[in-house]
């Protein structure tokens, strides 16, 4: 199960994606689909079984306000097709069979963006899952 959420901080805010190989492969596939035909996508709807307390949309941006940013009651990840393709490639580097864990931090170098951490096998299955 892919889990994602914002980890607020005064100094180092982070948007975290956690999952196993299949989960990250599905995220990479959604990014590749977005790269081929950029359109607004709700990630919870696109990723089967994804869990999150927040809303996150992939949003096509051609010039300017790229990156992960707050957007109303949730977040938006503003990317162009090329950026989405390159991020998918970086996620796929984490997936090879012998690798049991690893991570990458995605930053586009734009002022004010929230860094995105993609993590494979580094956290327990209940991390970021709200308990009732």
* pLDDT for the residue 67: 97
* pLDDT for the residue 130: 53
Confidence band, pLDDT 50/70/90 cuts, at residue 129: low
Contact, 14 vs 115, CB < 8 A?
yes
Question: Residue 131 above 60 pLDDT?
Answer: no
Q: Which are the contacts of 6, defined by CB distance < 8 A and separation ≥ 6?
A: 13, 14, 15, 16, 54, 75, 114
- Take residue 74 and report the two structure tokens written for it: 């949730």
Query: What's the rounded Cα separation, in Å, for the pair 86 and 63?
Result: 17
What are the pLDDT digits (tens) for 81-124?
999 999 999 999 999 878 788 899 999 999 999 999 999 976 65
Contact, 87 vs 69, CB < 8 A?
no
User: What is this structure's pTM?
Assistant: 0.89
């Amino acid at each position: 199960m892919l889990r994602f959420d914002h980890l607020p901080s005064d100094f180092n805010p982070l948007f975290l994606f956690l999952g196993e190989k299949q989960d990250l492969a599905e995220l990479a596939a959604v990014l590749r689909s977005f790269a081929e035909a950029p359109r607004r996508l709700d990630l919870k709807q696109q990723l089967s079984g994804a869990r999150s307390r927040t809303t996150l949309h992939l949003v096509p941006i051609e010039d300017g306000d790229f990156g992960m940013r707050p957007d109303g009651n949730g977040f938006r990840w503003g990317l162009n097709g090329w950026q989405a393709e390159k991020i998918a490639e970086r996620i796929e580097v984490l997936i090879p069979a012998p690798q049991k864990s690893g991570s990458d931090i995605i930053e586009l170098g734009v002022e004010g963006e929230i860094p995105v951490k993609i993590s494979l096998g580094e956290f327990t299955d209940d991390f970021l899952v709200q308990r009732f």
